[in-house]
Structure formats: C-alpha cells, structure tokens
Amino acid sequence: RERTFICVKPDSVQRGLIGDIIKRFEQKGFKLVAMKMMQASEELLKAHYEEHAAKPFFPPLVKYMGSGPLVPMVWEGQGVVKMGRMILGETNPLDDQPGTIRGDYSIRMAKNVAHGSDAVESAKREISLWFTDSELN
Ligand code: ATP
C-alpha cells in the first residue's frame, strides 16, 4: 500500500496549523498511519535534505527545521504521494492557488508550512529515516 511522508514545519506547529493539515488529508480519505511531535537533530535533518546539501539554502533550511518541534507523519492510500503534493501545493507558495495548504497559509518559500515526499521511492527513504518499524502500523 502506498505511503507518503508529510512533516509539519516548525513555524506551522507554532501557528497552530497541525489540525488543519491533518484534516485536509483525512477528509480526502487518506489513513494516518503514524505521527509524533519531536525536535529533529541536525544529523537527521541533514540526512533528510541530503539532495540539497550543495544548495545555498541548505544551511538556513537545516537551521530553520531544527528551530522548534516538528510533526512528522505517515499517510497511506492509493495515490497518496502525488495527491499529498497537490494538497500541499507548489514549493513556492506564491505559485499556489488558494485551496492548497501552501496557497492558503504562506507567502514564503523557506516557510512553506509542510514537507511532502515527491515520489514513492523518496517516501520510503524518508519514512525509514523518521520512524522506526515499531512506530509504523
Ligand atoms: P519539501 O521537500 O519541503 O516538501 P519541496 O519538495 O516542495 O519541499 P524542495 O525543492 O525539495 O521543495 O526544497 C526543499 C525545501 O527547501 C523547500 O520546502 C523549502 O523550504 C526550501 N527551499 C527550496 N528552495 C529554496 C530557496 N530557493 N530558498 C529558500 N528555501 C528553499
């Protein structure tokens, strides 16, 4: 069964957006498989964003993601990876239609509310990075 990794970013936790993000995935019909609130280590964040290691925004991105608690979660359902990206919206919130999470809640690329896996393979990698087997149903 297809699964994706969604992670509510620190300022969205602080702004009280966790519930709305969960609601949008639930109302679409996806199943919440795992979820927790945690402070991520620098090591975990660097591994998570390893594809961006050479980018200029990598150090501030890792710093920002470590600036407060995050809410990583795993969602399951047919087509959840692609639809998860559609529910989130474009990377740059200024490109989004209202109705997407990023379109509704952000105007800044660096603070674009939540992360979502971009492919089935990256979802598998990210889920195993953030969750132990015993945390996954
Ligand atoms: P995410 O991986 O968080 O879901 P994404 O897959 O839409 O986002 P990526 O291109 O993988 O986007 O970038 C990862 C994250 O890095 C983005 O969510 C954003 O927070 C940050 N980022 C990407 N590009 C920039 C940039 N040019 N300036 C600042 N931050 C950026």
Q: Separation of 89 CA from ligand 1 center, angstroms?
A: 12
How remote is the CA of residue 115 from the centroid of ligand 1, in Å? 8
pLDDT along the chain (137 residues), means of 10: 97 97 98 98 98 97 98 98 96 90 93 96 98 94
> Residue 110: what pLDDT?
87
Candidates 109, 117, 125: which one to mutate for ligand 1, based on the most atoms within 8 Å of Cβ? 109
Nearest to 136 by CA among 32, 8, 23: 32
ipTM over 0.90: no
Known catalytic residue: 115?
Answer: yes
The helix or strand, by DSSP H or E, that contains position 73, with its residue range, turns out to be: strand 71-76
Number of Cβ within 10 Å of residue 86's Cβ equals: 14
Distance CA 16, CA 137 (A): 26
Q: How far apart are CA 75 and CA 24, in angstroms?
A: 12
Catalytic residue among 72, 115, 127, 130: 115
